[in-house]
Amino acid sequence: MKEQPLILAAERNPCYLELVVQFLGKEGDCVKSANLLEGLDLALSQSKAIGLALVDIDGFYRRVWKRCERIRDRQIPFLLLLPKQSVAIEQQNLAHGMQSTLVKPLVVKKFLVIVRSLLRD
């Protein structure tokens, strides 16, 4: 049986992080959560087989880009969650190697389709 890929979810808001973890857990996914950038750093250094990183940039802004580069360097697909639609943020995302973005509040079906697609690639 194929091992379930680990999803790393990074979100500053603990309530929102718990919702994402619970939702993906109910869908059968294995999720590791990090609620601060330091937690994201620790998870990236300790976890070997991350299949997907979900990073909510709300509240992290400029400090998150170095982490996105680390994720990209490890060739981990990642999805950025944005607080609002912004061309400037989209340009930053592209410059730092993001695969896809979603604007909050999330549309659950679209979120799940993108997560499944990134895990398959």
Instruction: Find the CATH number of the domain harbouring 67.
Output: 3.40.50.2300
**Paired residues of 6 in beta bridges:** 30, 50
Quote the domain boundaries for residue 109. 6-120
Q: How far is CA 47 from CA 39, 40, 99, 118, in A?
A: 12, 10, 20, 18
Q: Which long-range contacts (CB under 8 A, 24 or more apart) does 43-47 make?
A: 43/8, 43/10, 44/8, 44/70, 44/71, 44/74, 47/6, 47/8
116 located within any domain: yes
Q: What is the pLDDT of residue 65?
A: 81
Q: What is the pLDDT of residue 30?
A: 94
Looking at the structure of the chain, the number of domains it has is: 1
Contact predicate 33/55, CB 8 Å? no
For the CA atoms of the chain, what is the radius of gyration?
Answer: 13
Low-confidence ranges of the chain (pLDDT < 50): 1
82 located within any domain: yes
